[in-house]
Amino acid sequence: MKKTLSVGFTAILAFSLISPVYGDSSTTSSPGASTISAKVLAKLNQQFSTSEYVTYLVKLKDQVDTESVAKHAFQKASAEQISPAAAKLSVRKTVVNSLMDTAEKTQPSVEEYLKKEVNNGNVKKYKSYFIVNAFAVTSTKEVMDNLATLPEIDKILPDEKRELQKVEIDKDAQPVGEQSTANQAVADQTAVDPAVTVENAQKSVQESVYKDAVAPSRVEWNISKIKAPQVWAKGIDGKGIVVANLDTGVEYTHPALKRKWRGLNASGQVVNPELSWYDAVNGASLPTDSNGHGTHTMGTSVGSDSNGTNEIGVAPGAKWIAVRVFNPDSTDSILLDGGQWILAPVDKNGKKHPELAPDVVNNSWGGGPGLDEWYRPVTKAWRAAQIFPEFSAGNTTLSNPGGPGSVANPANLPEAYATGATDINNKLASFSLRGPSPYGEVKPEISAPGVNIRSSVPGGVYEGGWNGTSMAGPHTAGLAALLLQAKPSLTVDQLEDVISKTATPLTDSQYRTSPNNGYGYGLIDALAAVNSVLN
């Protein structure tokens, strides 16, 4: 595998939020103007031409090499011979402390200037970050230009809009229970190949989809397909593991999810909700979701009814926490805010708690194709803190019709583990974006069911027919939770290695060998993955 963290980490690559497009400094004469032109992305000047106040990101020069920090922390923990759980926590705290220390030492002069300009009315608002040593600022152009002249400032970048991965919902394809799921699978097979008789398709479905299910009348086809029920039969269902998502929020009162929210105690009472939920968009104090996307993806990771019906989740014993960053769109500053909270949830007094960070974070969102490193420091920090970073590969759009090299960022980053989408017949979904990555790597790394997926939606109900790599990704996040219960000492690199190497290789007429840039290493196999670490 390209990411080898047995105890060490990969060497640090270029550290930046985004590859800058420099303004033309040839038309400027003063040293100040030349400095501004070199640091400020040209697009920002255009935004100021139509608005007095613009929001932008200010990145400082001093940045933490989180991979190196984590490597040394692991070595120290190994020398002290502490338990794997204690080692992970020690590494995570060391990473967070290093990030916070750097921000505290380098940000004061910038913040002092911003506070002064708030009083002068030239700065509407600002927010500092430590996961990337940076600020989000809403100000006049004069303030931005003055910031650019400060020696500690590296780059000033637009606060770009980011869109949630759009999913297609087929209201006519909502299998509920064994028989309707089987009927839908039969219809899928006969539609693909008219030569396949209904009788043969029915036999094929029964053999390929349901033969291994513990309770086929209650388990969704996609959960059976990846052999999660056989793992549950071993007593492994994700218990003790925490899965998070950055999404549109989660309806915490949903019967498939309520008792699994970490913000509830054993009696079902809400306790310290701010440590298990963060709304970076609207500031809601309790988990909520007006869109449905986040509730659906979380259901696929951990959902199930208390009475044993509606087995929609891969790791139904796991707990969940969540961050709302889409409503339905988002911005870079909001996503940085949410990504930072994942690393260290914040209590009512503003104290950060890296010990309460999740073990896995699902990201069913993404941008365009190509080289765009704006979220790379966040993903690196998650990895360094031993938070498994799953990203959906992305779906075709009018601006990104797919094909080679189309996989979306941040899923195409070397530090992200990307999931593509397959259907009930293990065929790559037409909308699933393809590799290679801009770094020449195979992408996506893995595939999971993402066509006609039934899961939880707001209103306490369930809905099928959801199509998208957004639906595929949570399967991988759930599998990571199962593996971490089976062997808690697994590092992020080891998790990726296990999931990839135990997958069922998938090929077709376009991708004749495995791994490939359509299916990655193939369809995730929960049973094979868990058995490999148990053995």
How far, in Å, are 43, 47, 135, 380, 402 from residue 21 at the CA level?
9, 15, 19, 23, 25
| Token pair in block for residue 496 | 């990726």
Tens digits of residue pLDDT in 195-250: 555 455 544 544 443 333 334 458 999 999 999 999 999 999 999 999 999 999 99
pLDDT value of position 308: 85
How confident is the model at residue 199, as a pLDDT? 53
What contacts 322, CB < 8 A, 6 or more positions away? 244, 245, 247, 249, 250, 276, 277, 278, 287, 294, 298
**pLDDT, tens digit (0-9, with 9 covering 90-100), for 365-411:** 999 999 999 999 999 999 999 999 999 999 999 999 999 999 999 99
Go through 242-254 and write b for each residue having 16 or more CB atoms within 10 A of its CB, e for each that does not: bbbbbbbbbbbeb
Q: What local confidence, expressed as pLDDT, does residue 175 receive?
A: 53
**Sequential DSSP letters for 454-499:** EEEETTTEEEEEEESHHHHHHHHHHHHHHHHHH-TT--HHHHHHHH
Average pLDDT over residues 188-194: 46
> Could you tell me if 41 and 17 are in contact, meaning their C-beta atoms sit under 8 angstroms apart?
no
- Closest to 404 (Cα-Cα) out of 384, 432, 380, 376: 432
Mean pLDDT value across residues 348-372? 97
Nearest C-alpha neighbor of 393 from the set 448, 338, 334: 448
Arithmetic mean of pLDDT, 121-146: 98
Residue 165 has pLDDT above 60, yes or no: yes
| Lowest mean pLDDT segment, chosen from 166-170, 273-277, 289-293 | 166-170
Q: Is the peptide bond before 354 cis (omega within 30 degrees of 0)?
A: no
Say which range, 20-24, 286-290, 379-383, 484-488, has the weakest mean pLDDT: 20-24
- pTM, entire model: 0.88
pLDDT category of residue 32 using cuts at 50, 70 and 90 = confident
User: What are the Cα distances from residue 100, in Å, to 107, 275, 389?
Assistant: 10, 19, 21
Residue 212 confidence (pLDDT): 36
Q: Which residue in 361, 360, 386, 321 sits closest to 96, CA to CA?
A: 386
Q: Are 92 and 492 in contact (CB under 8 A)?
A: no
Residue pLDDT, tens place only, 278-313: 999 999 999 999 999 999 999 999 999 998 889 999
Q: How far is CA 105 from CA 53, 153, 205, 223, in A?
A: 28, 14, 61, 48
Lowest-confidence segment of 196-200, 452-456, 483-487 by average pLDDT: 196-200
Known catalytic residues are 247, 293, 470
